[in-house]
Amino acid sequence: MDFKNNKGQLFAIINHHLIKENSQWLSSKIDVIVRGKSARELYLCYSILGAKINTEKTDFLNIIKDDSLKAYLETKKANLLEVSRIYLLIAVLEADEDFFVEKVKNIIQVADTGEIETFLKFLILLPNPENYKFAAVEALRTNISNVFDAITLNNPYPAKYFNTQQWNQMYLKAAFMERNLLDILGVEERANKDLTRIISDYAHERWAASRTIDPFFWRPVSKFIEGVLLDDMKHLFQSDNLAENRAAALCCALSDKKEAKDLLEQYQELKNQVESKKITWLNIKK
């Protein structure tokens, strides 16, 4: 997912929806930050915006021409404060990326929780967003759900920039923290054999402790159903939990392994429901 002319479109929002005094204040602050090459002024401005911008105003995204950007901001429930903060970062980076890239990376070290959340939610909009992968990966260490969700859920950044180890770490922790796994983007595309082993091992630990597992957790395993994973699918089919039965049916239906296809044949009602689209990942819990 690539976005173009983010600065111009975010500026249109700011210019149209902020009161003139605040819009002018932000523009003047950006000039001061860039001309003075001041990390201190950047961090202060990023923070002080919270006292200047009304976050309650809604219906301000219609001015955006790029449908992809508009949809992303809507999905992330962006408010005017968040738009203003990301515009600030984009503006200073486009003015002098060589100087400000390291300063922007450091925001997660000096910002409060809400400020970090904004940074992570809209990281993909910054110029050369791959420069900030360290900050995104560092955020995986948190147990603060809002911060973790900001980088993990409905965010294209991890699928595009995380390596396999980082992706797997994120996916497992999302399950451990009981986040909504259906909101992780790119799960099928980033599926890998190491992750399926991790999923199976984690499931066995949970089962041994008589604990439940989110049926969405199994979504990445379809390409790798053999051996232990095939036994896991049998376990799910035999479960008293209908959502787990459905998850197994979806995994086997999407698999290219003969053993998985043969297993699904034993559950014709579930197979028919998958083939008729009555069962999808969106409704297995309904």
Distances (CA, A) of 230 to 201, 233, 248, 257, 279: 13, 5, 10, 10, 20
Give 46-82 pLDDT, tens digit per residue.
999 999 987 777 778 888 888 899 999 999 999 999 9
pLDDT value of residue 38: 96
Inform me whether the pLDDT recorded for 37 exceeds 80. yes
Averaged pLDDT score across all residues of the chain: 94
Mean pLDDT, to the nearest integer, of 20-24?
92
The token pair that represents 147 in the structure block: 């911060």
The token pair that represents 248 in the structure block: 């197994």
Count Cβ atoms below 10 Å from residue 215 Cβ, excluding itself: 24
pLDDT > 90 fraction of the chain, expressed in percent and rounded: 88
Nearest to 78 by CA among 100, 63, 96: 63
The residue type found at 82 is E
The token pair that represents 210 in the structure block: 């008589």
Residue 238 C-alpha from the chain's centroid: 33
Nearest to 170 by CA among 202, 138, 218: 138
pLDDT > 70 fraction of the chain, expressed in percent and rounded: 99
Whether residue 1 contacts residue 68, with contact meaning beta carbons closer than 8 Å, is answered with: yes
Inform me whether the pLDDT recorded for 22 exceeds 80. yes
pLDDT value of residue 1: 61
Distances (CA, A) of 107 to 36, 104, 110, 118, 177: 18, 5, 5, 11, 25
Inform me whether the pLDDT recorded for 254 exceeds 90. yes
